[in-house]
Structure 1
Amino acid sequence: MLELLVVMGILAALTAMATPQVMGYFGKAKTQSAQLQIENINTALEMYYVENGSYPSPSAGLRALVEATPEAPRWNGPYLKNAKTLLDPWGRPYQYTVSEQGEYNVYSLGPTGKGTKKPTSAANAGRSWADNG
């Protein structure tokens, strides 16, 4: 009986030590997945731009990549396979903004749902993954 309690104690200690590590891996995996999804969305936006001469308007949003809109008469999509691609790994829609100069920004609100809109580097400004810590 004592041996069983010792084994259970060791297992409990190992679980307590491993859980934060495993959860950290899941968090990193979701972040990397979001970065890859944003790259795919950026590629789809560029294809949309080539065919339509502009990026989707803020009112049409990223939905214009999967559904035709009246503002894009030369729409030749879908540019993404399905609308599920427009949700980040945390189940929230990716955010999309377009400046008056025609530059866009695609970002996730991240695990907290609050986001920052800050690109991770100046080289990615306007087409970025937002660090949402």
Structure 2
Amino acid sequence: MVVLVIIGVLAALIVPNVLDRADDSRVTAAKTDVNNLMQALKLYKLDNQRFPSGEQGLQALVSKPSAAPVPGNWRPYLDKLPADPWGNPYQYLSPGLHGPVDVLSLGADGKAGGEGRDADIGSWQ
């Protein structure tokens, strides 16, 4: 019986720490993805003298846009678009609210705003 109590106490102490680390690793992965997407967007701009329009979105990094403004020097900048660590698409704003363009994950809850693990993770941070 004492062994079961000890195991229960240890589990109560360890499980929250493990769950927090999983959340931390998702946030780190999202920050890395956002940085990689911004680098691809900067290469796109370097080749085409502008960022993709809001309508073209991040898809312009994977396939050549057919909607105006059609890029003259397009090349594939990514093999495929990643989903954020919570399985949601990354958001793209052009023009951005914090810079010429913004890339962001809506966090664990998939909704704008939020705090803690639900907070947005953006290119301006």
TM tier, smaller: 0.7 to 0.9
Alignment of 1:57 onto 2:57: no
Cα deviation, residue 115, structure 1:
2.8
Measure the CA separation in 1 of the matches of 2:80 and 2:124. 21
RCO comparison, higher one (Cα < 8 Å, 6+): 2
The count of aligned residue pairs is 113
Q: What are structure 1's unaligned runs of at least 5 residues?
A: 118-125
2:115 maps to 1:108: no
The answer for unaligned runs of 5 or more in structure 2 is 115-121
8 Å CA contact retained: 1:38, 1:128: no
In the TM superposition, 1:64-79 aligns within 5 A as 64-70=60-66, 71-77=70-76, 79=77
CA contact (8 A) 1:88 1:94 kept: yes
Aligned counterpart for 2:79 among listed residues 78, 81, 91: 81
The match for 1:94 is 90
What amino acid does structure 2 have at the position aligned with 1:113?
A: G
**Structure in which a larger fraction of residues adopt helix:** 1
Following TM superposition, where does structure 1 have runs of at least 4 consecutive aligned residues deviating by more than 4 angstroms?
none
C-alpha distance in structure 2 between counterparts of 1:89 and 1:39, whole Å: 14
Paired residue secondary structure (1:81): coil
CA RMSD of aligned residues (A): 2.0
In 1: Cα distance, 2:112 partner to 2:18 partner: 23
Q: Contact between 1:42 and 1:127, CA under 8 Å: does it hold in 2?
A: yes
Aligned position for 2:9: 13
Deviation of 1:13 after TM superposition, in Å, equals 1.4
The CA distance in 1 between the partners of 2:21 and 2:6, in whole Å, is 23
- TM, length-normalised to structure 1: 0.77
